[in-house]
Amino acid sequence: MAQLDQVSTQKEEMLDSSSLLYELSRDLVSILDGYQVVSVALSYLAKVPDCQVAGFLVEDNAHPEQPWRFTVRIYRLGGESLVPQLTQRTIDAMQTVSEHVFQLNKVSIIIDGERQPDTALSQVNRELRSFASLPLIMRQQVIGMVSIGSGEKGIFNEGVVRLVSTIANQIMIAISNCRYIEQVAAARQAERLKSEFISNISHELRTPLHSIRGFTKLMLQGKVPDPETQKEFLTIIDNQSEHLGKLIDNLLDVSRLESGRFQIQKRYMSIKNTIHDAVESFYSLASEQGIVINEDIPATLPEIGVDGERLRQVMVNLLSNAIKFSNDGGSVTVKVEVKDSELMMQVTDHGIGIPEEVMPRLFERFFRVKDSAGVGGAGLGLYISKQIIEAHGGRIWAESKAGEGSTFSFTLPLNQAGGDSYG
Amino acid sequence: MDKRILVIEDDPSALRFIQYTLQQEGYRVLTATNGLAGIRKAQNEELDLIVLISCCRV
């Protein structure tokens, strides 16, 4: 009789497990986001018999600058009421154990608080007596852990572990799908930006070229007899050639950056003149548009190790943007200050501002603010500026309010530390 | 009386080129570098023709 009961219990458990896995796989199929996979999977782990707490250790894809950072998420299943005795200390300890198991790179570890007191679980306080940590394996590499715990000892039997392992595999497939989708989306986005860039750059190159050819032809055909007008047109040709040259320089910089051949040549110098020259070069353009340039620059500045020509390039870029996006009759402020161990420079305009949603992408290669009042640009200036400042060990960022204006700031370290070597 | 043309173009050097060329043909040319300024001029002046050069990217 007892044997029959056992068989029937086993059958029930199997049925429960298979319906749980069926529902899990059904739910996971439609998810495209890795974080959502984790939360759905946790809600299913909550249904595993006797499992009171579950956690995840997964790669954090949301931070591309640190693709191998690991995030541990420990969840109390069913909230506080289900496991009232579970303290923050237990949760912290479970996180530590998950990380420990992950580092061991073991296939699975099942610990019973009573039987193995000398294991890593000794860090877990007495409330958590059973613990299992299973690896998430993708292409023979452990990329994360799924952990379950309970306040009762010795309850994670083979059946439970097999169930959690199957859930872990399902999660793995779902996460792997999400990553694939993310990669495809990123590749498409990069492709789209590149083709937009080619279209923009053709326009940007053609506009000055049209002017140069147009005015040259007028003069060659003898249609400009007045010497003053001749001088005016020659000045336009000169300016447009210079503009074209800068565009080509930017393209070459991007090509150097792409191939890792971009270098800065730092030397100790007083940057006061560099700053002043850059600002002064905008006096005439600003006054043509009735824009006032306010300068808030200390009388003395320390000598710092910079590539003067590259610093000038960054300033020219920020100033020309500030003037380009200012309304006629507005003002642009250049502020320089020495703070702690760095020099900070800010260029503020009171122009059209930048929509909040595009702020995070401002310094991306090829990125342009769409429909920005008909103002052109190749989407290279801020990208190159960021690379220059970062090569100096500094930071660059923007703050803006649509309709009110923008402030672009950058820092340069006062000492050599943090920057590239002199070269 | 000379025919009056308003040319709207955002690139100042292209605008100057068009202005000069049309002037050589005997037209009186008014200019604006953006749509809003163009509308203001169109409202205040008697015009025979408005040339709006819209930016095309291919």
Residue ranges making up the domain that contains B37: 4-52
Q: Any idea which architecture A267-413 has in CATH? A: 2-Layer Sandwich (3.30)
Contact flag A211-B13 (C-beta cutoff 8 Å): yes
Residue B15 lies in a domain: yes
**Which residues, including other chains, have CB under 8 Å from residue A173's CB and lie 6 or more apart?**
A28
Residue B57 lies in a domain: no
Residue A289 pLDDT > 70: yes
* Number of independent structural domains in chain B: 1
Chain centroid to CA A39: how far? 23
Q: Enumerate the residues of chain B whose CB falls inside 8 A of the CB of residue A229.
A: 20
Residue B58 lies in a domain: no
pLDDT of A85: 46
Q: Enumerate the residues of chain B whose CB falls inside 8 A of the CB of residue A207.
A: 11, 14
Higher pLDDT, A253 or A78: A253
Q: What is the ipTM of this complex?
A: 0.86
What residue ranges do the domains of chain A occupy? 2-185, 186-259, 267-413
Condensed to tens digits (0 to 9), the pLDDT of residues A302-346 reads 888 899 989 999 999 999 899 988 887 889 999 999 988 899 999
**CB-CB neighbours of A114 under 10 Å:** 10
B23–chain A nearest CA distance, Å: 11
Candidates B28, B24, A254, B26; CA nearest to B7 is B28
CA atoms within 13 A on the CB side of A74: 20
Residue A420 pLDDT level (bands cut at 50, 70, 90):
very low
Strands A342-349 and A405-413: antiparallel
**CATH class assigned to A2-185:** alpha beta
Of A202, A208, A374, the CB nearest to B34: A374
In angstroms, the CA A169 to CA A175 distance is: 10
Mean pLDDT for chain A overall: 79
Of A207, A229, A373, the CB nearest to B14: A207
B14–chain A Cβ distance below 8 A for any pair: yes
pLDDT of A70: 43
Taking a C-beta distance cutoff of 8 angstroms, is the pair A49, A160 a contact? yes
Higher pLDDT, A29 or A224: A224
Residue B35 lies in a domain: yes
pLDDT of A67: 38
Condensed to tens digits (0 to 9), the pLDDT of residues B1-58 reads 679 999 998 888 899 999 999 999 999 999 998 888 888 888 988 888 888 876 544 3
B19–chain A nearest CA distance, Å: 12
Query: Which CATH number is associated with domain A186-259?
Result: 1.10.287.130
Condensed to tens digits (0 to 9), the pLDDT of residues A15-47 reads 777 888 888 888 888 877 777 777 787 778 777
Residue B43 lies in a domain: yes
Taking a C-beta distance cutoff of 8 angstroms, is the pair A60, A48 a contact? no
pLDDT of A61: 56
Higher pLDDT, A113 or A12: A12
**Which residues, including other chains, have CB under 8 Å from residue A275's CB and lie 6 or more apart?**
A297, A301, A315, A334, A336, A345
- Which of B13, B21, B33 would best serve as a mutation to test chain A binding (most A beta carbons within 10 A)? B13
Domain with residue B37: its CATH number is 3.40.50.2300
